């Protein structure tokens, strides 16, 4: 079974959170709204991987401090194969929403939303319910 470590950047500005929409052709959750992030690569430190993924996915280049606020440990199936997924969620506070967002091909849209937004599924809402 393959193991993946996934890092998620929960970018918050006051009461709003930045979410991105997966491409409609995505294998796991097509068109779903999520927080930007991605996989840790071999030999990479957590913070370096988070910075790389945020740069790749949304062109986020600001200097930031991030703290781990959640983790998830689960087994998922994709194409009849099992994957052990460990996800670490990092909170990143920003002073303003002027981030010069440029989306990668993995995503089709982005929005700043409140934590109770109808765009978000319960899994995503639970990540931020106490923030």
Q: What is the CATH number of the domain that holds 20?
A: 3.90.79.10
pTM of the predicted model, to two decimals? 0.92
Report how far apart, in Å, the C-alpha atoms of 99 and of each of 23, 70, 95 are: 21, 24, 10
Q: State residue 29's pLDDT score.
A: 84
Tell whether the model's pLDDT for residue 102 goes beyond 90.
Answer: yes
Q: Give residue 82's domain range.
A: 2-124
Report the chain's mean pLDDT, rounded to a whole number. 95
Residue 129 is assigned to a structural domain of this protein: no
The whole-angstrom separation of Cα 127 and Cα 115 is 9
- How many separate domains does the chain show? 1
Residue 63 is assigned to a structural domain of this protein: yes
Residue 48 is assigned to a structural domain of this protein: yes
Residue 29 is assigned to a structural domain of this protein: yes
| 8-12, 68-72, 74-78, 89-93: the lowest-pLDDT one | 74-78
Residue 131 is assigned to a structural domain of this protein: no
């Amino acid at each position: 079974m393959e193991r993946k470590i996934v890092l998620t950047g929960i970018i918050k500005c006051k009461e709003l959170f930045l979410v991105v929409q997966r491409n409609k052709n995505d294998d796991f959750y097509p068109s779903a709204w999520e927080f930007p992030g991605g996989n840790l690569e071999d030999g990479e430190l957590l913070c370096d991987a988070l910075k790389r993924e945020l740069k790749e996915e949304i062109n986020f280049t600001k200097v930031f401090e991030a703290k781990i606020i959640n983790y998830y440990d689960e087994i998922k199936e994709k194409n009849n194969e099992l994957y052990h997924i460990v996800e670490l969620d990092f909170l990143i506070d920003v002073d303003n929403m002027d981030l010069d967002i440029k989306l990668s091909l993995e995503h089709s849209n982005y929005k700043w939303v409140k934590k109770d937004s109808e765009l978000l599924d319960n899994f995503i809402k639970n990540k931020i319910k106490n923030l």
